[in-house]
Amino acid sequence: MRQKIIVLDFGGQYNQLIARRVREAGVYCELLPWNKPFSDWADESLAGIILTGGPNSVYEPASPRLGREIFDLGVPVLGICYGMQLINYILGGNVEAAGVSEYGHTLLHTADTGLFRHVDRETAVFMNHTDRVSRVPDGFEIDAWTQDCPVAAFSCASRGIYGVQFHPEVRHSVQGAQMLRSFLFDVCGCAGDYRPEDTIEHMLSEIRRQAGDRKVVAGLSGGVDSSVACALANRALQPGQLTCVFVDHGLLRYREAEQVMATYRDNLGLNVVHVDASERFLKALEGVTEPEKKRKIIGEMFVRVFEKEAAKTGATCLLQGTIYPDRIESGMGGSATIKSHHNVGGLPKDSLFKKEAIIEPLANLFKDEVRAVGSALGIPKEMVWRQPFPGPGLGVRVIGEITREKLDILRLCDHIFLEELENAGLQESIWQAFAVLTGVRTVGVMGDGRTYSHCVALRAVTSDDAMTSEAAEIPYPVLKKATSRIINEVRGINRVVYDVTGKPPGTIEWE
Ligand code: XMP
């Protein structure tokens, strides 16, 4: 049986990253809401539990809390930030408001104990807390401290209980991954043999089991997730059982529909139907400015198009390329809903597709795991490494009301920017690059006259997994060239800005 670690989510912003790091270490894990009943997940495959950070304070009456039973499950427990304070609280230690909040890089002093046996005695970590442990429970020892935090890590090795006040999961904690590995391997005894591509056979049989002999329609967007999902389904199902639907919602990039269709036809041997639904989508979006509303409308429209195609083929199942972060960021865990990803937005109540007929073979995988599966399936490199593009497309990159005119302007700006990045050989180092029509008009001067036109923002980010990102440091001459081309070649733009915001505090997309 495959070992698993359960990460209980108390709402902190880095919680998905904890799960990522555990899987990167070759250990399967799932992120679940903190209040999910133990009976749903505490089985013989359980090797350890991680309690995440969160925005609360353990002494607030409404804070999420667990009872002592969490320590009776017979597996080690690691608490991170709020998770550590919770352990301390449950076991009778003291937590107090620190005089100063500690935020950012901090020098951690470690003892040769707990999770710190394989790291330096002084190592940089990332802190983000206001409360701190002031007295540890009986039987616990202090494993690490910082200048402002006398108990930065503690443990009771005999009971397999560990806590760290800082965030080992973020890259700023330079040796954080090693500390997590110590928990997984030295403490929990995990084997570290999980590889996403080894789950292909399981995914194929799950698709077969869920579909049975029913016909299936699949949403195909041109992105890596849906391409891999469709390639899996194509392998799993009988000839004629699967119809892939590529929906042109009018919110695609420059010449995207032609390119994507050609790639599918030439490379994947899929049965793909191209549906031009742009009229319907744009009509439904008329006058809508609020981002979540746009996402919900686009999500519902997709389902309606799939239903229509399903009716033509007699399909009753819908296959989607939903991946793990989509579900988590849409509020499946204990964390706040940041954005409703369209394929998790929930089916309209009257949908023809019943809940049990939704097949999501990648729903437990992170993006790089999907890419590993895609490569193992022989999907061409340029598809597996295609930049992510959001399901709602340019709909969330035209800020404010979406019109055909704005979409046309944006498409051209985006195309020019990407072309200049390509010319400069920068595409490979960038996670995602695109243009955003800001919804702001500015005054300019062109020739001898005044202009009052759109301002476009360029955005390029580097990232490992889209959960955090930094603005890419594009050489200035490249930005300048792209800017001058945009101003000269795109009517309706008189100003170009470059977005240098990281995530957090920004998100990658503007809406
Ligand atoms: P944010 O903007 O939340 O985006 O930092 C993280 C990553 O997800 C992509 N994204 C989406 N992908 N449906 C998708 O399939 C969506 O609704 C959606 N919204 C954002 C975004 O492009 C980035 O890669």
pLDDT digits (tens, 9 = 90+) for 90-142: 999 998 887 777 788 899 999 999 999 999 999 999 998 888 899 999 999 99
Ligand 1 atom showing the smallest separation from residue 225 Cα: 15
Using alpha carbons, select from 406, 435, 439 the residue that is nearest to residue 421. Answer: 435
Nearest CA to ligand 1 atom 17: 341
- DSSP3 helix / strand / coil % (the chain, rounded to 5): 35, 25, 40
Active site residues per annotation: 81, 167, 169
Is the CB of 466 inside a 6 Å radius of any atom of ligand 1? yes
Looking at residue 59, its pLDDT comes to 87
Looking at residue 255, its pLDDT comes to 96
Is the CB of 388 inside a 6 Å radius of any atom of ligand 1? yes
pLDDT by 10s per residue, the chain, length 511 = 789 999 999 998 888 889 999 999 999 999 999 999 999 999 999 999 999 999 999 988 899 999 999 999 999 999 999 999 999 999 999 988 877 777 888 999 999 999 999 999 999 999 988 888 999 999 999 999 999 899 999 999 999 999 999 999 988 899 999 999 999 999 999 999 999 999 999 999 999 999 999 999 999 998 999 999 999 999 999 999 999 999 999 999 999 999 999 888 788 889 999 999 999 999 999 999 999 999 999 999 999 999 999 999 999 999 999 998 887 766 655 556 666 665 555 678 888 899 899 999 999 899 889 999 999 999 999 899 999 999 899 999 999 999 999 999 999 999 999 999 999 999 989 999 999 999 999 999 988 899 999 999 999 999 987 878 999 999 999 999 999 999 999 999 999 999 999 998 899 999 9
Using alpha carbons, select from 492, 347, 349, 479 the residue that is nearest to residue 412. Answer: 492
Is the CB of 503 inside a 6 Å radius of any atom of ligand 1? yes
- Please state, as a whole number, how many other Cβ atoms lie within 10 Å of the Cβ of residue 385: 14
Dist. CA 203–CA 170, nearest whole Å: 30
Interval between CA 227 and ligand 1 midpoint (Å): 16
Q: Residue 303: which residues within 8 A CB-CB, separation 6 or more?
A: 318, 347, 348, 351, 353
Nearest CA to ligand 1 atom 10: 390
Q: Indicate the Cα dihedral angle 233, 22, 68, 186, nearest 10°.
A: 130
Give the angle subtended at the CA of 27 by the CAs of 358 and 200, to the nearest 5°. Answer: 40
Pocket test for ligand 1, best of 297, 301, 341 (most atoms within 8 A of CB): 341
Interval between CA 392 and ligand 1 midpoint (Å): 9
Sign of CA dihedral 311, 313, 318, 321: negative
Using alpha carbons, select from 165, 86, 163 the residue that is nearest to residue 130. Answer: 165
Looking at residue 129, its pLDDT comes to 82
- Please state, as a whole number, how many other Cβ atoms lie within 10 Å of the Cβ of residue 292: 12
Dist. CA 298–CA 217, nearest whole Å: 18
Interval between CA 295 and ligand 1 midpoint (Å): 11
Q: Indicate the Cα dihedral angle 205, 341, 38, 96, nearest 10°.
A: 150
Cis peptide preceding 505, ω within 30 of 0: yes
Dist. CA 20–CA 16, nearest whole Å: 6
Pocket test for ligand 1, best of 228, 328, 329, 339 (most atoms within 8 A of CB): 339
Is the CB of 509 inside a 6 Å radius of any atom of ligand 1? yes
Dist. CA 372–CA 220, nearest whole Å: 19
Is the CB of 83 inside a 6 Å radius of any atom of ligand 1? no
Ligand 1 atom showing the smallest separation from residue 463 Cα: 24
Looking at residue 330, its pLDDT comes to 64
| Coil/strand/helix, residue 318 | strand
R_g of the chain, CA atoms, integer Å: 25
Contact between residue 54 and residue 134 where contact means Cβ atoms under 8 Å apart: no
Using alpha carbons, select from 93, 112, 71 the residue that is nearest to residue 151. Answer: 93
Interval between CA 294 and ligand 1 midpoint (Å): 14
Is the CB of 345 inside a 6 Å radius of any atom of ligand 1? no
Looking at residue 298, its pLDDT comes to 94
Q: Which residues of 97-117 are buried (b: 16+ CB within 10 A; e: fewer)?
A: ebeeebeeebebebeeebbbe
Sign of CA dihedral 359, 219, 368, 472: negative
Supply the pTM of this predicted model. Answer: 0.82
Is the CB of 479 inside a 6 Å radius of any atom of ligand 1? no
Q: Give the model confidence (pLDDT) of 323-375 as tens digits.
A: 988 877 666 555 566 666 655 556 788 888 998 999 999 998 998 899 999 99
Ligand 1 atom showing the smallest separation from residue 396 Cα: 19
Dist. CA 315–CA 307, nearest whole Å: 9
Write the DSSP assignment of 112-144 as a string of letters.
SSGGGTTS-SEEEEEEEEEEEEEEPPTT-EEEE
Strands (E), 255-305: 272-276
Interval between CA 116 and ligand 1 midpoint (Å): 36
Interval between CA 389 and ligand 1 midpoint (Å): 7
